[in-house]
Structure formats: C-alpha cells, structure tokens
C-alpha cells in the first residue's frame, strides 16, 4: 500500500479537539470578559453573541431556539434525552460507539419500554427507511468513530409526529444540515470549529419546545438538565443566561471561530475548509 502523498497542514489528527483556525494564537482571547460575572451585561452579551453568530453562520431558522448548556455535546444530548423522551416509542439508530452510548442511556438508564434499536456494523448505516414518523428517533448525523454519516434528511417525514433528536457534533459546520427535518440538534465547540471543550450547544425546534412544555419526565431531573420551570421553557437559557457558570475564555474562543467562519465566506466555505466537501 502506498502512503498518501497529500498531507494535512496540521498533523495532529483528532475528531475533537480539532485544529484551531489558521493563524490562531492565545491573543484571540484578549477581549474575554474574565474575572467578572457571566451574568454582567458584557458577559451576557458575549454569550448572546455566540448564539446570534451561530444562527447566522449555520442558517438556523428564527423559530428555533439555540442554547449554551453545560457538559459539552454529551451534556446537550443527555439533557435532551432526559427531558423529552417517554411519551412516544423511540427508534434508536446506531452504527458506531457514540450512537451506541445513547442506546445504552435509553435502555439501561431511562429504562424506556418501547425502544427499537436499528443497528449497523462499523462502516455501514442502518436501513433509514425503517424509522417510523410516529416515533421519536435518536441518531448521530456523522458517526465520528466510523466516519459514516447519514446522506441527507430525505428519510425524515415533514409530517412526523415524533421528534428527531440528532447528535450532530462532528457534522455541524462541516455539513449542511436540513434544520426543518431536525427537532433537536447538539454539538460542542471543540469539534469542527476548533473551539475549546466545556460547553454544549442545544438547538430546539418549535415542536421540541412544545414537547418540553407538555411532558413531565417520569424520573427526577437534576438542575443541570432542567430546561423548564413550572411547565414553561426557561427562555433565558436561549438568550445567554446559562444554567451555571461557563468559561468566558471558551466563549471568547467560540466567538473567534465564528467570526473567522464569517470572514472566509460562511457555511459553504467552512464545509470546504473542513475537508468534508471536494475542494
Ligand atoms: C458523535 C459524537 N457524540 C458525542 C461526542 C462526545 O462529545 P463531547 O466530548 O463534546 O461530550 C463525540 C466526541 O467525539 C462524538 O464524536
């Protein structure tokens, strides 16, 4: 076998933390609002800036809520599973280790009774046409450890009654996601944008918000997972009022990455730069 002749500019391979943007230095963080409350006016406006720039770069519909939550992508996914699952049967799609982890959450921790697992071996995808629009569906857009991704959202019905819950952590910014097919989307900053690990992003469709406000989970909800209070969405979470204390250095770094994405031309340029599309 011949060694590949084209080498990446940065030899540090990882699915996250990923390489920083070209030219990044710690100086990119000089305007961070450190040493003061994240609930101060400047602190909150930095957090809101991440949300606003994210919506713009990714083209997330106005009706969708975007929140910054604790515990990276895992925190965002588990918050969604614990908050939303229960009222309907659920189809769990798995074809590599992260999808498998969410199956284990749903079967062994939440112990839901009506669970169908649609599983494929490494390198393959399960039969997406077997998913049922009357049921919730949990899946990973890009199975990071196998490199197998769903091809598009055509298999998701526009008339679905269930929710689609999508772990898109290694897909977002590298692939164009069909937002209207997705009810919950999660990711973390250290993936495609080369940000810092710590916080998760949680995007909710209007139907996901409706479920949150109409369904009370059958299990106790720790504060760190709570998205509602008295049956109402805690809207502040989606305006930069985080549940607990975020790192403002990580926030500044996320802003730096998003600004760079805008400068190079937005989502399509990022998809090309990430290597997920032909140059
Ligand atoms: C598909 C997928 N889900 C979840 C995770 C966990 O992400 P985090 O460390 O941000 O919680 C990863 C990390 O590589 C991933 O690739």
pLDDT tens per residue, range 106-133:
999 999 999 999 999 999 999 999 999 9
SS3 202: strand
- Segment 140-166 shows an average pLDDT of 97
34-70 pLDDT tens trace: 999 999 999 999 999 999 999 999 999 999 999 999 9
Per residue in 175-208, pLDDT (tens digit) is 999 999 999 999 999 999 999 999 999 999 999 9
Whether ligand 1 lies within 6 angstroms of the CB of 242 is answered as no
The CA distance from 171 to 49, in Å, is 22
pLDDT at 118: 98
Distance of alpha carbon 153 from alpha carbon 166, whole angstroms: 11
The pLDDT assigned to 278 comes to 55
What are the backbone dihedrals phi and psi of residue 25, each rounded to the nearest 5 degrees, phi first?
-135, 165
Going from N- to C-terminal start, the domains of the chain cover 60-274
Per-residue model confidence (pLDDT) at position 110: 98
Tell me the CA–centroid distance for residue 40 and ligand 1, in Å.
Answer: 31
| pLDDT value at 279 more than 60 | no
Closest CA to 83 of 179, 182, 167, 204: 204
Percentage of the chain exceeding pLDDT 70:
99
Residue 33 Cβ contacting ligand 1 at under 6 Å? no
Mean pLDDT of 158-180: 98
**What's the gap in Å between 259 CA and the centre of ligand 1?**
23
- Residue pair 72/187 in contact (Cβ under 8 Å)? The answer is no
For residue 24, is pLDDT > 70?
Answer: yes
pLDDT bucket at 10, cuts 50 / 70 / 90? confident
Burial (CB count <10 Å: 0-12, 13-18, 19+), residue 59: exposed
C-alpha radius of gyration, the chain, whole number: 19
- 63 alpha carbon to ligand 1 midpoint, in Å? 26
* Residue 72 CB less than 6 A away from ligand 1: yes
For the record, the structure tokens of 112 come out as 């839901």
* Cα–ligand 1 centroid distance for 90 (angstroms): 21
Residue 19 or residue 130, greater confidence? 130
Alpha-helical regions (H) of the chain = 41-58, 72-84, 97-104, 206-214, 248-263, 267-274
Q: Quote the pLDDT of residue 277.
A: 67
CATH of 60-274, one of 3.20.20.10, 3.40.640.10, 3.40.309.10, 1.10.10.10: 3.40.640.10
């Amino acid at each position: 076998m011949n060694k590949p002749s084209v080498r990446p500019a940065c030899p540090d391979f990882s699915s996250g933390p990923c390489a920083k943007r070209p030219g990044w230095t710690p100086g990119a963080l000089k305007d961070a609002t450190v040493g003061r409350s994240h609930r101060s006016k400047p602190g909150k406006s930095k957090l809101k800036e991440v949300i606003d720039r994210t919506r713009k770069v990714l083209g997330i519909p106005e009706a969708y809520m975007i929140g910054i939550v604790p515990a990276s992508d895992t925190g965002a996914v588990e918050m969604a599973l614990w908050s939303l699952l229960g009222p309907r049967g659920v189809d769990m799609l798995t074809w590599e280790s992260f999808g498998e982890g969410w199956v284990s959450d749903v079967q062994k921790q939440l112990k839901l009774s009506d669970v169908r697992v649609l599983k494929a071996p490494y390198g393959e995808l399960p039969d997406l046409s077997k998913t049922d629009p009357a049921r919730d569906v949990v899946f990973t857009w890009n199975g990071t450890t196998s490199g197998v991704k769903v091809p598009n959202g055509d298999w998701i019905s526009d008339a679905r009654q269930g929710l689609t819950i999508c772990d898109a952590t290694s897909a977002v910014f590298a692939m164009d996601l069909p937002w209207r097919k997705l009810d919950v989307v999660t990711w973390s900053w250290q993936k495609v944008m080369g940000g810092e690990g710590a916080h998760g992003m949680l995007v909710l469709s209007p139907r996901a918000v409706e479920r949150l406000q109409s369904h009370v989970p059958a299990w106790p909800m720790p504060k760190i997972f709570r998205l509602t209070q008295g049956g109402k969405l805690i809207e502040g979470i989606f305006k930069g009022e985080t549940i607990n204390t975020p790192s403002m250095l990580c926030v500044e770094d996320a802003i730096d990455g998003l600004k760079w994405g805008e400068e190079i031309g937005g989502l399509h340029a990022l998809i090309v730069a990430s290597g997920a599309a032909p140059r």
